[in-house]
């Protein structure tokens, strides 16, 4: 069931239906609270909705369990930039922080 909600969220996000995508991601996290990809995509939906503090929290949740995850660092850096926290953004973009390649926020 979590996979169905997750996949629905991915499709809705791709269609720029961010509020609906967020609802689907929230359903996933009710079932599977540690779903890192869902937290990542939820952060992307929140960023698209300009809910930057919540997006930052979503990316920090991913990094708490997967500190080397490049896509979470990258997306976190984008949010920090939008928040005009340029030093924090630069630190998030620093390659030594992670070892995994950057993936699409929807994968």
Q: Is the pLDDT of residue 3 over 80?
A: yes
* pLDDT band (50, 70, 90) for residue 83: very high
Nearest to 18 by CA among 47, 38, 39: 47
Percentage of the chain beyond pLDDT 70 is: 89
**Cβ–Cβ < 8 Å for 47, 82:** yes
Q: What value does the mean pLDDT take over residues 12-19?
A: 98
pLDDT of residue 17: 98
What is the three-class DSSP state of 37? helix
Residue 94 confidence (pLDDT): 84
The pTM score is 0.87
Cβ–Cβ under 8 Å, residues 40 and 75? yes
Distance between CA atoms of residues 37 and 71, nearest Å: 10
State mean pLDDT over 26-49: 98
H helices of 1-107, in order, are 2-14, 18-31, 36-48, 52-65, 70-82, 86-92
């Amino acid at each position: 069931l979590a996979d169905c909600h997750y996949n629905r969220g991915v499709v809705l996000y791709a269609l720029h239906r961010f509020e609906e995508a967020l609802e689907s991601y929230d359903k996933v996290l009710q079932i599977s609270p540690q779903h890192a990809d869902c937290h990542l995509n939820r952060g992307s939906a929140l960023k698209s909705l300009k809910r930057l503090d919540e997006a930052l929290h979503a990316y920090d949740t991913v990094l708490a369990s997967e500190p080397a995850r490049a896509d979470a660092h990258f997306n976190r850096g984008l949010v920090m930039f939008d928040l005009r926290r340029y030093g924090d953004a630069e630190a998030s973009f620093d390659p030594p922080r992670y070892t995994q390649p950057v993936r699409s926020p929807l994968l």
